[in-house]
């Protein structure tokens, strides 16, 4: 099974930059998208259907903002929209598909970079998300959490840890949350295979950051520890340029 997570930063814009052809060539079994910024009615969904995908969307109530989706070659036995907490579901942050032996979630964690109010919202979300996942783990043994977590876990995951030490996305309390969350029963599948520095999934549009590879690794495929024997490969697909993020691939047996 080939699973890809991708923050497309607007699916319509990404489609205008060749997303459909890229999906055709890459051919994932499950594609988890974040920040779609659109409803399915605003998109030519037949282009995805022609590639053999079932598609499930959970856009934000606010137009042109946030939103998640999952495209799957296999029809899931269950689709779960949202997490049941109104303030997060209003922003379209979680969708999950359940198959016989695996559940896959596309999740878009809030950013706190716009100011104190949104940072406080982010920290509340992190607490509530942990509680939500801990409850979910009681019934879903094999979970893969795919998405933009808007946090760099460790210094190796950001181009300049010293100058970003007080920046949202690399704050000590955010990194501590990530450490506790992963240690609570998950595997950071990319780091399971790759311990090299300078491996990023997002670059600022400013100052030619992507060309200089001045980036952040904030997009993850976290798998339940029970799935460790099934982990085959994980790769950051940095050559895909439909967004300021790039996709991250996970292959499972």
Please state the domain count of the chain: 1
Place of tokens 């979300």: 125
CATH number at residue 219: 3.60.10.10
Q: Which two tokens stand for residue 44?
A: 């030519």
Calculate the average pLDDT of the chain: 98
Q: What are phi and psi of 70, to 5 degrees?
A: -135, 130
pLDDT at 143: 98
What pTM value is reported for the model?
Answer: 0.98
The residue segments making up the domain with residue 139 are: 2-252
Read off the pLDDT of each residue in 191-199 and give the average, rounded to a whole number: 98
Helix 172-183 and helix 116-136, axial crossing angle in degrees, nearest 10: 10
Q: Which residues contact 68 (CB under 8 A, 6 or more apart)?
A: 32, 33, 34, 36, 57, 58, 92, 93, 94, 95, 106, 107, 108, 147
Which tens digit of pLDDT belongs to each residue from 231-246? Answer: 999 999 999 999 999 9
Q: Which one from 98, 148, 188, 219 is the annotated catalytic residue? A: 148
Read off the pLDDT of each residue in 64-83 and give the average, rounded to a whole number: 98
89 counts as catalytic: no
pLDDT at 141: 96
Closest of 168, 134, 157, 179 to residue 248, by C-alpha? 157
Q: What are the Cα distances from residue 46, in Å, to 19, 25, 39?
A: 14, 17, 14
Residues in the chain: 253
Dmax (CA) for the chain in angstroms is: 47
Element containing residue 141 per DSSP (H, E): none
User: CA–CA separation, 250 vs 189, rounded Å?
Assistant: 7
Confidence of residue 162 (pLDDT cuts 50, 70, 90): very high
Confidence of residue 46 (pLDDT cuts 50, 70, 90): very high
Q: Which residues contact 199 (CB under 8 A, 6 or more apart)?
A: 156, 157, 190, 217, 236
User: CA–CA separation, 149 vs 151, rounded Å?
Assistant: 5
Which tens digit of pLDDT belongs to each residue from 15-34? Answer: 999 999 999 999 999 999 99
User: CA–CA separation, 104 vs 136, rounded Å?
Assistant: 12
Q: Which residues contact 93 (CB under 8 A, 6 or more apart)?
A: 66, 68, 82, 83, 107, 108, 109, 110, 125
């Amino acid at each position: 099974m080939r699973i890809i997570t991708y923050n497309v930063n607007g699916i319509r814009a990404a489609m205008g930059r060749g997303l459909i052809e890229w999906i055709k060539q890459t051919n994932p079994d499950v594609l988890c998208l974040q920040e779609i910024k659109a409803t399915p009615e605003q998109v030519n969904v037949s282009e995805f259907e022609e590639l053999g995908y079932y598609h499930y969307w959970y856009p934000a109530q606010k137009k042109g903002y946030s939103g998640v989706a999952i495209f799957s070659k296999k029809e899931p036995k269950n689709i779960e929209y949202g997490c049941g907490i109104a303030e997060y579901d209003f922003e379209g942050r979680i969708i999950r598909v359940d198959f016989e032996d695996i559940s896959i979630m596309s999740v878009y964690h809030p950013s706190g970079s716009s100011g104190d109010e949104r940072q406080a919202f982010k920290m509340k979300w992190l607490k509530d998300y942990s509680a939500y996942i801990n409850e979910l783990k009681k019934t879903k043994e094999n979970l893969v959490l795919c998405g933009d977590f808007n946090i760099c876990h460790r210094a190796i995951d950001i181009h300049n840890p010293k100058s970003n030490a007080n920046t949202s996305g690399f704050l000590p309390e955010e990194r501590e949350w990530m450490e506790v969350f992963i240690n609570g029963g998950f595997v950071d599948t990319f780091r399971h295979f790759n311990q090299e520095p300078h491996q990023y999934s997002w670059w600022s549009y400013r100052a030619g950051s992507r060309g200089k590879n001045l980036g952040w690794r904030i997009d993850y495929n976290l798998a339940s520890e029970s799935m460790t024997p099934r982990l085959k490969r994980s790769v950051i697909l940095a050559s895909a340029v439909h967004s300021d993020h790039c996709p991250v691939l996970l292959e499972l047996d």
